[in-house]
Structure 1
């Protein structure tokens, strides 16, 4: 069961499960702890996993203060400190991967390793235009279902659309009682599109695994490759048949990849 954790003046909705080395899971645009369902279930026998709702998503309120990636990275750091976690393996996807990059840059002692799924150093013209399209879609879609059906075209593979997986995800989202407002979605989106870590990525000095989906039309493999090339010693892998969120579509394979990476990381640091 989740609970609120008071962290630097913000009540952050948090779920923590399992035992073992600490892992912090950082979600993307509008995503809540539920987006990590397959990891919270599938890895809890080996790790103590902490997932949370970013400010303005799910059950965590959006303060009136300006929203930035730096602020959300500080939220994550404050959460770890409030939970007395001295350092954690950090995994983030999409916008959450950008928060994770910034967490490692601003609070390096809290980060033991990084897994960056569907990431980039700075939005290129294509990704920026896609983000602006999503903003328009959220503002003009006639219904929540219509928005999700359009948004998920770029998030999940045709396989997942055709086999009913996406339909099940949509039903879960529609039933979720803690809706993100369009205003808060746009504030998060604006923060992500304005952020650039290109020149600072070489300062990240923890083991890093960058994963990309070969069929991801948004954060395309070349963007992930640019991140991996900039971080000293980072590993890069393309999951050729996957899209933006393979940790949900093929969770067993994704969990096995990151588990192997975390185990190797612990072997090197113990």
Structure 2
């Protein structure tokens, strides 16, 4: 299995599928590269897709200590470096979108076109999920908490798969480090520094990461456009792939 070595000595597992221009896929919080399993074959028809396990997930190292969205961005850069990819399209969703903001802002020469999906600027400018959502996700009954997460990700009409509900093998300390990294994200200044053409995508009915964050991001990134997927919740890219997949592919090949 291929691994990239980060500057702080962490091994990050990744894999490559497809042919065409490189497309780096960055998963959401507490998820491995399997976040992309349902939609990745579609993109692999036109792109060389690169997906990796965040530190703390999958086959990557799981160090203790603090994580951050900047750290996740640097892990992504290490994967590109290991592959010898100088410049790639980048598609990040949820917390992966927060990491993608930093990757594009701190390393503009590495990002050709950028897609920010169901994500947030964080910090004082971002819209946070409501107290009812937080309470539902934090309830002690793990089965009910999982169902609450599924209901936030997908509409009642979706019968699976459910690729976005977390890496079941994550150690608790790593899961908490992911949560704190995402919560501490403040990408407001990073958004203004992004030079890559950017597509902002969000589900119109997303309560997990409120839809109101999407126009904030689109207004902040200099060269951007916004598209809302009507009726979609947080996992729009999976459940509504028939709309979201061609939308993203058309933007990346424009």
Q: TM > 0.5 between the two? A: yes
Aligned pairs for 1:144-159 within 5 A: 145-159=143-157
Does the 8 Å CA contact 2:32/2:54 hold for their aligned counterparts?
yes
Report the equivalent of 1:32. 32
- Pairwise CA RMSD of aligned residues? 2.3
> Which of residues 220, 224, 229 in structure 2 aligns to 1:234?
224
Residues 38-85 of structure 1, C-alpha deviation per residue, up to 9 Å, x if partnerless? 332112121100001101122212223421111111111111111101
Does the 8 Å CA contact 1:25/1:91 hold for their aligned counterparts?
yes
Give the secondary-structure state (helix, strand or coil) at the position aligned to 2:25. strand
Report the equivalent of 1:197. 187
Distance 2:88 2:233 in 1: 27
Does the 8 Å CA contact 2:195/2:222 hold for their aligned counterparts?
yes
Give the secondary-structure state (helix, strand or coil) at the position aligned to 2:62. coil
Residues 252 and 3 of structure 1: is their aligned pair in 2 closer, same or farther, counting only changes over 3 Å? Answer: farther
Does the 8 Å CA contact 1:131/1:193 hold for their aligned counterparts?
no
What is the TM-score with the length of structure 1 in the denominator? 0.85
Distance 2:73 2:133 in 1: 21
- The number of aligned residues is 251
Report the Cα offset of residue 246 of structure 1.
1.5
Distance 1:182 1:101 in 2: 26
Report the Cα offset of residue 248 of structure 1.
1.0
Report the equivalent of 1:268. none
Aligned pairs for 1:22-101 within 5 A: 22-101=22-101
> Which of residues 147, 162, 175 in structure 2 aligns to 1:169?
162
Give the secondary-structure state (helix, strand or coil) at the position aligned to 1:199. helix
Residues 252 and 113 of structure 1: is their aligned pair in 2 closer, same or farther, counting only changes over 3 Å? Answer: same
Unaligned runs of 5+ in 1: 265-270
> Which of residues 215, 233, 236 in structure 2 aligns to 1:243?
233
Unaligned runs of 5+ in 2: none
> Which of residues 215, 223, 234 in structure 2 aligns to 1:225?
215
Q: Kindly report structure 1 stretches of 4+ aligned residues shifted beyond 4 Å.
A: 128-135
Report the equivalent of 2:129. 127
The structure that is helix-richer by fraction is 1
